[in-house]
A = this chain, B = another copy of it.
Amino acid sequence: MSGNTIGVLFRVTTWGESHGPAVGAVIDGCPPRIELSEADIQADLDRRRPGSLASASPRREADRIEILSGIFEGKTTGTPISLILRNEDADPAAYDGLRDLFRPGHGDIAYRAKYGIRDHRGGGRASGRETAARVAGGAIARKILARAGIAVFAFTREIGGIVAASLDLEAAEASLLRCPDPEAEPRMVKKLDEVRAAGDTVGGVVGIIVRGCPAGLGEPVFGKMDADLAGALMGIGTVKGVEIGAGFAAARMSGSVCNDPITREGFRTNHAGGILAGIASGAEIVLGVACKPIPSIGRPQETVDLHGNPAVITIEGRHDVCVIPRIIPVCEAMVAIILADHLLRQKAIDK
């Protein structure tokens, strides 16, 4: 796994900065003869747009995915699938104020330390824009998973401390906040309004469920199924924690409670979250992902400039209040990519 590629057999490489000409992905290792069109991928990308449910506005150039290779007469050929998403023309001068300042909570200062140079416009490579390329790769992964009967669902488990107490996946899909608890959703909306009014942002927790994953997917020691999922999800810019099954709550359980009894019909409980010793057990895979608040807030913040001098930074423009609904398709994409890779790897050693 290099810095911009993930996967062993099903491999996704993303490229592009938020204010360069385009972002994109190369997906290698997709099996041949799978029906795939730009519309398949576009549907997932559209879920990533703010207020996407309500949106009926015509699509802009910057939102349209183009497939450049790997498809012939509507089917994958087994060769690399190259995807491109043009960026909109932006006024580079709009970012001149950020050229010499490091935004708190952003990667600016770390990129500078690593490379000694950085594209300061809109976050460059570390921008949320890059996640569009992951979602596009995930859309292809989902095609592979669908053939095997595997489905990935992500939803809002918590926003700003308000917890979804019920799990209605249909309700989540219909909800702008992807909230699976219709009672909690209005309280979440109210919370977001308050935070917005305060010029602030707020974090939350995404829940993920994988249905239909066959027992046996995974690896024994490194690159375990849970390890790969944790790495893939922690690699989303906003994520600060990942848990499987009972997760952090398991740390407070006794073994007699935490162990899932095995019955003829399957596991009686699912504290393991569908993974035992790094290998799928056949139960639902259950994940939780802690997302920090968006760091671009509407208040002045303390920072330094390139030369280390103290400065105050104010980030202009209209910003999202909470990353949760937009990050959900990205979480689904990362999980789908890992599962597709392990599915192919398992095929290689199966009878």
Contacts and interface: CB of A to CB of B under 8 A. Distances in A.
A242 B234 contact: yes
A69 B124 CA distance: 10
* Number of copies of this kind of chain in the complex: 4
Interface in A47-81: 66-72, 75, 77-81
Interface stretch (A166-174, A179-187, A246-254): A246-254
Contacts of A203: 250-253, 258
Interface residues of A, number: 154
Given A15-B80, A223-B235, A241-B242, A293 B2 contact: no
A155 interface: no
A314 interface: no
Nearest to A158: B251
Nearest to A230: B234
A325 interface: no
A251 B241 contact: yes
B348 A9 contact: yes
B222 A3 contact: yes
A82 B82 CA distance: 11
B303 A261 contact: yes
A240 B250 contact: yes
Contacts of A264: 304, 308-310
B221 A82 contact: no
A254 B33 CA distance: 37
25 contacts: A1-B228, A2-B223, A5-B28, A6-B223, A21-B66, A21-B68, A21-B69, A31-B349, A33-B117, A77-B124, A84-B84, A113-B280, A114-B279, A125-B220, A203-B251, A203-B253, A228-B231, A230-B230, A230-B233, A241-B244, A241-B250, A247-B290, A253-B293, A255-B297, A344-B349
B235 A227 contact: yes
A9 B254 contact: no
A291 interface: yes
